[in-house]
């Protein structure tokens, strides 16, 4: 037995190739895009998209159900999967709403600090640190939600969803 590997199984750096890795990365990118959309829903009235459609005052459950059906169209998701994804998304939206309100308050505070005759750098730094913590909390909750959604879907469905998000992202760039 030889310790050497063939060029088909190693990369130019000598590390083993993992063909599944590209698909998994594409899936995660797609799920992150889904998380970003869920974040947009958490913005509520006046948030991304203003008060139009599902961005308005509609309850999170209804928005989540609508979004789940739209995102899972074409990936052969069962009704049970769509329902579970909608539940996950609704819970995420509810959890993110207070964080979003805290972000708005932090921005207002920064504007107030910068509007004063003397700039209080320590207050500004404290506001920045709070903003970083809020972003971390936001990101942590989105990541948790993405993992929960990924567990509901089959690997094939995740790949289809990632491909769909990649296509849509390409269409928006072009």
Give the pLDDT mean for 114-143.
93
How many other C-beta atoms lie within 10 A of the C-beta of residue 158?
22
User: Over 60: is that where the pLDDT of 6 sits?
Assistant: no
Q: What is the mean pLDDT of the chain?
A: 76
Provide the greatest CA pair distance for the chain: 77
CB 69 within 8 A of CB 82: yes
The token pair at 1 is 């037995």
Q: What does DSSP assign to residue 17?
A: P
At 142 the pLDDT is: 92
Give the pLDDT mean for 151-162.
91
User: CA dihedral in degrees (32, 33, 38, 44; nearest 10)?
Assistant: 130
Q: How far apart are CA 115 and CA 93, in angstroms?
A: 33
Higher pLDDT, 43 or 93: 93
At 14 the pLDDT is: 63
C-alpha angle 119-121-124 in degrees, rounded to nearest 5? 95
The token pair at 162 is 């990632």
Burial of 12 (0-12, 13-18, 19+ CB in 10 A): exposed
From residue 146, how far is each of 92, 100, 103, 158 by CA, in Å? Answer: 10, 18, 22, 11
User: Over 90: is that where the pLDDT of 165 sits?
Assistant: no
CB 75 within 8 A of CB 157: yes
Question: pLDDT tens, 20-78?
Answer: 555 555 555 555 555 555 555 444 444 444 444 444 446 777 888 888 888 888 888 89
Q: Of the candidates 42, 34, 51, 58, which has an alpha carbon nearest to the alpha carbon of residue 143?
A: 34
């Amino acid at each position: 037995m030889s310790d050497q590997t063939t060029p088909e199984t190693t990369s130019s750096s000598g590390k083993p190739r993992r063909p599944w890795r590209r698909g998994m990365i594409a899936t995660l990118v797609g799920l992150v895009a889904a998380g970003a959309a869920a974040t947009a829903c958490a913005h509520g009235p006046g948030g991304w998209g203003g008060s139009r459609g599902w961005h308005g005052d509609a309850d999170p459950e209804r928005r989540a159900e609508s979004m789940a059906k739209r995102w899972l169209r074409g990936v052969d998701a069962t009704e049970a999967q769509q329902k579970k994804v909608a539940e996950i998304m609704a819970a995420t939206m509810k959890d993110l709403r207070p964080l979003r309100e805290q972000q708005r308050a932090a921005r207002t505070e920064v504007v107030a600090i910068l509007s004063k005759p003397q700039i209080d750098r320590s207050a500004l730094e404290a506001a920045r640190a709070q903003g970083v913590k809020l972003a971390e909390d936001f990101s942590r909750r989105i990541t948790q939600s993405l993992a929960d959604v990924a567990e509901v879907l089959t690997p094939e469905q995740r790949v289809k969803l990632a491909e769909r998000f990649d296509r849509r992202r390409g269409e928006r760039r072009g």
